[in-house]
Structures are given as C-alpha cells and as structure tokens.
C-alpha cells in the first residue's frame, strides 16, 4: 500500500501515545456489502482509543478535517473503491488500499472526485448506479 492511500491502524489501549492524542475516524469493522458498503464512520476525539471492532484512521488535531474525512468516506466514489476490495462484510484494512488521500481542508463531493480523477460518463454512471447515497 502506498503512503498516498488511506491506512487503518490499531488504536487500542496499547497504541502509541501519539496516536491516542490525535483525532481519529472510526469505521465499523463490519460493512454492508450490497448496500452502503461502509458502516457509519464516526469521530474519535484526541485522548480516546477504540476496540478492534473498528478500523481507525489517525488524522491529527483538527476536528474539522476529521469531519471532512468522514464526509469523504461517505461519497459514492470512495465506497465504490472499497467495494472493489471486499467480498464479505469484513472491512479489513486492505479494503482501503485503493482509496486515495485528499487534502482535508474542505468537503469533497462525488462531482469533484469524478473531475479530479478524470472519470468518463460511463464510469460515473456505473458508480452512481451501483452505490447508493449514504447519510
């Protein structure tokens, strides 16, 4: 996995103190194949850790950027990429191998991501027709 893709790490009680001090986004370890793909991601504020039932993305100190990452994870684009790496409800860290890291200073939309990665009409239609909206 390249450093430019999303990575999931363990942030339990034995995690490095630096990771516990940062904002994290938690993604349920069990997804919803054939539906929204990912379970509902949520913010884990600095000073917290989680159980192994979550995939954890360590971000930094910005709650705003963590919120933008959560919005990104809910895009059809991201969930389509995750769906290509999963065949069961298990959301192993490898499920995020194809998900590129973005600049987290703003909320990404599917339309922006389609333009950023130069998707054609057929590719956009495939994503929109196969991946439902996520609240």
CB atoms within 10 A of CB 127: 20
- The contacts of residue 18 (CB under 8 Å, 6+ apart) are none
- The contacts of residue 106 (CB under 8 Å, 6+ apart) are 68
The widest CA-to-CA distance across the chain, in whole angstroms, is 47
So what's the pLDDT on residue 70? 93
Helix axes 76-83, 63-73, angle to 10 degrees: 60
Chunk the chain into consecutive blocks of 10 residues (it has 135) and report each block's average pLDDT, rounded to whole numbers. 48 66 84 76 84 78 89 95 83 84 93 98 97 91
Query: Could you tell me the pTM of the whole model?
Result: 0.82
33 contacts 13 by C-beta, under 8 angstroms: no
So what's the pLDDT on residue 3? 40
Backbone angles phi, psi at 89, to 5 degrees: -75, -5
H-run or E-run covering 125 = helix 121-130
């Amino acid at each position: 996995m390249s450093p430019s893709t999303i990575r999931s790490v363990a942030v339990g009680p034995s995690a490095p103190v630096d990771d516990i001090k940062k904002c994290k986004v938690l993604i349920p370890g069990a997804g919803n194949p054939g539906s929204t793909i990912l379970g509902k991601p949520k913010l884990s504020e600095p000073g917290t850790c989680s159980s192994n039932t979550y995939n954890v993305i360590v971000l930094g100190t910005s709650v705003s950027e963590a919120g933008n990452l959560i919005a990104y994870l809910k895009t059809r684009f991201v969930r389509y990429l995750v769906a290509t790496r999963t065949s069961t409800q298990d959301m192993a860290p490898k499920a995020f191998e194809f998900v590129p890291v973005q600049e987290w200073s703003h909320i990404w939309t599917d339309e922006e991501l389609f333009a950023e990665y130069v998707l054609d009409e057929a590719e956009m239609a495939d994503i929109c027709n196969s991946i439902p909206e996520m609240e």
